[in-house]
Amino acid sequence: QQQVKQSPQSLIVQKGGISIINCAYENTAFDYFPWYQQFPGKGPALLIAIRPDVSEKKEGRFTISFNKSAKQFSLHIMDSQPGDSATYFCAASKLNTGNQFYFGTGTSLTVIP
Amino acid sequence: KAGVTQTPRYLIKTRGQQVTLSCSPISGHRSVSWYQQTPGQGLQFLFEYFSETQRNKGNFPGRFSGRQFSNSRSEMNVSTLELGDSALYLCASSFRGTGNSPLHFGNGTRLTVT
């Protein structure tokens, strides 16, 4: 059973456009929500993360929006660049219960020049 | 600082054999986790070790096992390999291992079972 559901599976965006990836979860015990970026042949790398006590977090062109009541969170990539072409994974974990993360199934983003 | 190192990068095994994968975490990181990555399934949690103790285990059969040594290096073993075990196996280390500390992934071991 997938504890974190991610959509879309793939996304094609023009350079300069906004890329939006959505995730939803069911377990209200989750209290840490990171996003990871993975390039071909490489392991995932942390991009940005949010706690449920804030509704939005921005780092450069990357923003996480968090809706606690809807149990949804999303990644927005502003001014998308060809170098952003990668696979993105959302994830969720519970604090202080070890380091077990539940990942979404991934979104393959292609930014067309 | 050196990143997470996984060996070997590629492995081809036959059904029924067993395999051992190795992971060297970032120096000072005591938490080491293992994930299985397959197309369409994303990353599935296998297990996590902290100071040589298994703290969490995912929903995988007992054929999947692991261990961590006193220097934090970790190994993962899969016995009686099945075709469905073909996947990218990722190791990740973390400094605190508290559930909100970043995972630092290696580049994985690509296992193919024929």
Confidence label for A95 from pLDDT (cuts 50, 70 and 90): confident
Confidence label for A97 from pLDDT (cuts 50, 70 and 90): confident
pLDDT of residue B101: 81
C-alpha span between A102 and B45 (Å, rounded): 7
Residue of chain A whose alpha carbon sits nearest to that of B51: A98
Give the tens place of pLDDT for each residue, B10-53.
Answer: 999 999 999 999 999 999 999 999 999 998 889 999 999 999 99
Q: Percent of chain B, pLDDT > 70?
A: 99
| Mean per-residue pLDDT, A2-13 | 95
Answer whether B29 touches A (CB < 8 Å). Answer: no
pLDDT of residue A10: 97
A104–B103 C-beta distance less than 8 A = no
pLDDT of residue B41: 87
Do A99 and A93 touch, CB atoms closer than 8 A? yes
pLDDT of residue B97: 72
Q: Percent of chain B, pLDDT > 90?
A: 86
Q: Is A28 left (phi over 0), alpha (psi -120 to 50) or beta?
A: alpha
Show which residues on chain A lie within 8 Å of chain B, measured between beta carbons: 2, 6, 31-32, 34, 36, 41-46, 49, 51, 89, 91, 93-106
pLDDT of residue A80: 98
pLDDT of residue A99: 82
C-alpha span between A40 and A81 (Å, rounded): 17
Give the tens place of pLDDT for each residue, A8-67.
Answer: 999 999 999 999 999 999 999 999 999 999 999 999 999 999 998 999 999 999 999 999
- Say if residue B84's pLDDT is above 80: yes
Label the pairing between strands A101-103 and A86-93: antiparallel
